[in-house]
Amino acid sequence: MKQRPLVVRRIVIGILAVALVAALAFVALRTGPLAPIRVTVTSIQEGKLSPALFGIGTVEARRSWMVGPTVAGRVLNVRVDVGDTVKAGQVLARLDPQDLNLSTQSLEAQRAAAQADLDFTKAEHERFKELLERKRMLAATVRARAPFVDALSRLELRALGHVRREGAGTPWQRVLLLSVNAAAAGLQNTG
């Protein structure tokens, strides 16, 4: 019993396979590479031949230019169309001046900042020249004061030590006050 459906199935598959092969052969012979080519038959006549050339290709210009703005911006309007003849210097399009104005303002601000930096640098240069000259004068003054300052400093340190140990109201306090006054007077006189 089980063999009968198996045999029927094989027969159906075989019939379908033969029908498929027949359909493919029919299509290949009618429309595929094996199909007959249609030919137009005409009778021979005597006449003149005129040379004609037919072809498919691309037309290119002999010269071409890349046209574009020198600054970035939005296009307000275009004054020419594709294929129009244009002349040198002719306006092709107008750009929105707002972007250019912002760029100009930004560059002016940068220029002003650079000018301020230059002015500051010049003023600093002059100030440092003056400080250098003062430093030379100060060095000469310090060299002149050094012997007095060193001696007074040692005296003041000794007097201060005695005042701290013995307290206020001692003779050392008077020595300390006199030496500070002498140092101040000496520094005033030398510069």
- What DSSP assignment string belongs to 102-129? HHHHHHHHHHHHHHHHHHHHHHHHHHHH
Determine, yes or no, domain membership for 151: yes
Determine, yes or no, domain membership for 154: yes
Check residue 20 and give its pLDDT.
Answer: 95
Question: Can you give the pLDDT of all 191 residues of the chain as single tens digits?
Answer: 566 778 888 999 999 999 999 998 888 888 867 777 888 888 888 888 888 888 888 888 888 877 777 777 788 888 888 888 888 888 888 888 887 788 788 888 888 888 888 888 888 888 878 877 877 777 777 677 667 666 666 666 677 676 677 766 677 666 666 766 666 666 555 54
State whether residue 170 is helix, strand or coil: coil
Question: Please, which residues bridge with residue 94 across strands?
Answer: 77
CA–CA distance, 69 with 40 (Å, rounded to integer): 59
Determine, yes or no, domain membership for 40: no
Domain that residue 148 falls in: 99-190
Question: Is pTM, for the whole model, over 0.75?
Answer: no
CA–CA distance, 165 with 37 (Å, rounded to integer): 135
Determine, yes or no, domain membership for 81: no
Check residue 73 and give its pLDDT.
Answer: 77
Determine, yes or no, domain membership for 138: yes
Q: Contact, 69 vs 91, CB < 8 A?
A: no
Check residue 150 and give its pLDDT.
Answer: 67
**Phi then psi dihedrals of residue 97, to 5 deg:** -75, -10
Total structural domains in the chain? 1
Determine, yes or no, domain membership for 44: no
**What distance lies between CA 97 and its chain's CA centroid?**
23
Determine, yes or no, domain membership for 146: yes
